[in-house]
Amino acid sequence: MSSDNSTGLVELAKRRGFFLQTAGAYGGVSGFYTFGPEGAALKRNIEDSWRDRFAIREGNMEVDAPTVLPEPVFEASGHLDGFDDMLVECPECGESHRADHIVEDRTDIEEAESIPVTEVEELVAEYELVCPTCGAGLAGQAIEDFNLMFETNIGPGSSASGYLRPETAQGIFIEFPQLAEYARNQLPFGVTQIGRAYRNEISPRKSLLRVREFTQAELELFIDPEEDEPALESVADVTAPFYPASDQTADDGEAREMRIQTVVDEGIVGKPWIAYYLGIAKQWYDTIGVDMDRFRFRQHRSGERAHYATDCWDAEAEVDGDWIELGGFAYRSDYDLSKHDAYSDEEFTVFRQYDDPVTVEQPTVDPDMSYLGPAFGDDAGAVAGAIENLAARNPGAFEGENVSVAVDDDSYTVPVEKTGFSVEEVTESGKHVTPHVVEPSLGIDRALYTALDHCYRDDEVDGETRSYLALPQTVAPTTVGVFPLMDRDGMGEYARDLATELREAGLSVTYDDSGAIGRRYRRQDEVGTPFCVTVDYATLGEARADADEAAGPDTVTIRERDSTAQTRVAVEDLAETLTALRDGRATFDDV
RNA sequence: GCGCCGUUGGUCCAGUGGUAGGACAUUAGCUUCCCAAGCUAAUAGCCCGGGUUCAAUUCCCGGACGGCGCACCA
């Protein structure tokens, strides 16, 4: 049924230059696609549209980080462990299973994911674990360690390992200290990036929807969780279908159309910042051609959330009868910045000044090491540390003559006068804050594919079927087709000059003088060109018996793609008219 | 990765143990004054490797790629 549509779309994509499988001349390679001329233009327009909405209009800044990053970055981010799958294949039935999951299910061991492969193999043998599908013993089966990241070496030799980034986000997080400086250490601020990311998928499928190299558009918004609130008013009345986790487990659960303000007020979306960007994203997907009747926001159920996310919503679209993920909206809290703060040499915080400095009493100690050393020998350093901790934790303990601290299993008693304990008044002008991260992360390729799928139409014109792409004029690869009615009597020259003129006015124009006019219209319909301009005899000022009354010299027809309706405009107004149509400042009916 | 099925001009298909045919598209010409018309001609193909055979696009084995199912999707 709907797979016919996807077959037709893939065929159209290849035939008309939207996208094709990479390296077909060499047998092809799974999971990689090359965008052809139409596809590259469409993709660029979608990216520009995203940039305009999520970066420029929101006042966020855009960066461009490398696709290769050194190994320590991914140790900190958790991708080296978390992105690792341990696959074990059953010798009897051939099914593959996650070995770490089997271990977790059948033993008391948790987080088997972080156990080295060789040890997991030993555990499988030790507990005599069996295949969940057929019950055959798995002992002795090799466990394949599969990391979804592409590994590479940086520089000669293999001294420095690097990985192709599995998401663009880390490229932003690791530069946070400098980016915060650019933002003058003022929260909130947002950093966007559009770029390629790579995942060595086990099984790429479904054309552009699951690939090994793809383009992400991400925004990392850094906020003070205690202070910053989104300007919800601007999207409060936007409505979208919401599909909360609780409804997904119900038998008759389905998405419900609700206002952004409502989902915030009722706590359906827990974080107002997430709700704010859901509202913006909904509007944006609409403008690039995603059908809002086949669109929803679905909340992740607790089991499917990523390692960093505390609340996560996906934008989903229905394509070929399946709901696919278009993007994720995650509240990442301070997970990423805290990790990089801990793993790197830099501080990943901003200093927030109080309106009025506060004075606090702060207990301090200055242990007398000339006493502790002789008294406790090798343990003296640990004892000093314990005293310091105690002072911070429980200053009251220093009120007597002696304090006792525990180091390992031993207890040590120290005279208070040797600890250098005192309570000082300290004036704090502010505090270091680790910002929380709000992350709208969108897949450009999936958005593009969905827009194509949702805009692919068939209808009938004068008894002939035609197929066309009802792409919004802002993202269509080409805005205007310019044709001479026939390439004779000077119409070709006039039309070519007109095409040049329109290009100079900043429009994306294609010129075509081959074959019959109807064929040329259909060609442009198929690649989604919203407007076609035709130069005819009336344009040249030649009176014709059947000329329509509006026709005059230096006028041309403009034909609209979806309705195939035509109207006549003066050539001198043409560039402005078309620009207005493209930018949505005018509709075809206004012309 | 596993299982089933498949792979023939740019696209969609037919077909054969003796290297292939159609439709659409493309190009050139004729025709045509607004929606894939017609006529003429041209361009262009058996996924890759090995085996069997006098001969393989066809049969067998392996691979690549694709579709579906399973698994996976941080």
DSSP A142: P
Cα gap A539→A489, rounded to integer Å: 12
The ipTM assigned to this model is 0.89
| Domain CATH code at residue A125 | 3.30.40.230
CA of A13 to C1' of B18 (A): 39
Query: Does A56 contact strand B, using a CB cutoff of 7 Å?
Result: no
Cα gap A74→A81, rounded to integer Å: 9
CA of A84 to C1' of B66 (A): 28
Kindly tell me if the per-residue pLDDT of A402 is higher than 90.
Answer: no
Using C1' positions and the CA of A77, the closest nucleotide is: B74
CB atoms within 10 A of CB A23: 11
pLDDT category, A393, cuts 50, 70, 90? confident
Domain with A205 in it: 40-68+165-335
Give chain A residues 82-121 with Cβ within 7 A of strand B. 82-83, 85, 87, 89, 94-98, 101
Q: What is the DSSP string of A245-289?
A: HHHHHSTT---EEEEHHHHHHTTSSS-HHHHHHHHHHHHHHHHTT
Kindly tell me if the per-residue pLDDT of A2 is higher than 50.
Answer: no
Query: Does A253 contact strand B, using a CB cutoff of 7 Å?
Result: no
Does residue A352 belong to any structural domain of this protein?
no
Cα gap A46→A44, rounded to integer Å: 5
CA of A516 to C1' of B39 (A): 15
Does residue A33 belong to any structural domain of this protein?
no
Does residue A518 belong to any structural domain of this protein?
yes
- Give exposure, A415-445, as e/b (b: 16+ Cβ within 10 Å): ebebbebeeeeeeeeeeebbbbbbbbbbbbb
Query: Does A465 contact strand B, using a CB cutoff of 7 Å?
Result: yes
A330 plus A388 within the same structural domain: no
Does residue A265 belong to any structural domain of this protein?
yes
Summarize the confidence of residues A459-464 as an average pLDDT. Answer: 80
Write down the residue that tokens 């008294």 correspond to.
Answer: A375
The distance from CA A201 to its chain's CA centroid, rounded to whole angstroms, is: 17
A252 plus A324 within the same structural domain: yes
A88 plus A63 within the same structural domain: no
Summarize the confidence of residues A371-400 as an average pLDDT. Answer: 80
Give chain A residues 302-331 with Cβ within 7 A of strand B. 304, 306-307
Q: Which nucleotides of B are covered by protein (CB under 7 A)?
A: 1-3, 10-12, 25-28, 32-37, 47-48, 63-74
Query: Does A28 contact strand B, using a CB cutoff of 7 Å?
Result: yes
Using C1' positions and the CA of A325, the closest nucleotide is: B73
Query: Does A238 contact strand B, using a CB cutoff of 7 Å?
Result: no
- The answer for residues whose C-beta is within 8 angstroms of residue A147's C-beta and 6 or more apart is A80, A83, A84, A85, A200
Give chain A residues 331-370 with Cβ within 7 A of strand B. none
A496 plus A407 within the same structural domain: no
A129 plus A267 within the same structural domain: no
Does residue A567 belong to any structural domain of this protein?
yes
Does residue A34 belong to any structural domain of this protein?
no
Contact A413, A402 (CB under 8 A): yes
CA of A236 to C1' of B41 (A): 65
What's the number of domains chain A is made of?
Answer: 4
- What pLDDT is stored for residue A129 in this prediction? 75
Biggest alpha carbon–alpha carbon distance for chain A: 117
Write down the residue that tokens 């996906």 correspond to.
Answer: A314
Half-sphere exposure of A250 (CA within 13 A, CB side): 9
Query: Does A559 contact strand B, using a CB cutoff of 7 Å?
Result: yes
Residue spans of alpha helices (H) in A107-244 = 117-126, 169-173, 176-182
Does residue A122 belong to any structural domain of this protein?
yes
Per-residue tokens: A486: 């026939």
A175 plus A136 within the same structural domain: no
Q: What are the pLDDT digits (tens) for A336-363?
A: 999 999 999 999 999 988 888 888 887 8
Least reliable range by pLDDT among A124-138, A305-319, A362-376, A500-514: A124-138
Q: What are the pLDDT digits (tens) for A177-205?
A: 999 999 999 999 999 999 999 998 888 88
| Domain CATH code at residue A575 | 3.40.50.800
A212 plus A130 within the same structural domain: no
- Bridge partner list, A327: A315, A442
Does residue A74 belong to any structural domain of this protein?
no
| Domain CATH code at residue A389 | 3.30.720
Kindly tell me if the per-residue pLDDT of A392 is higher than 70.
Answer: yes
CB atoms within 10 A of CB A313: 31
CA nearest to nucleotide B35 C1': residue: A518
Per-residue tokens: A478: 């080409």
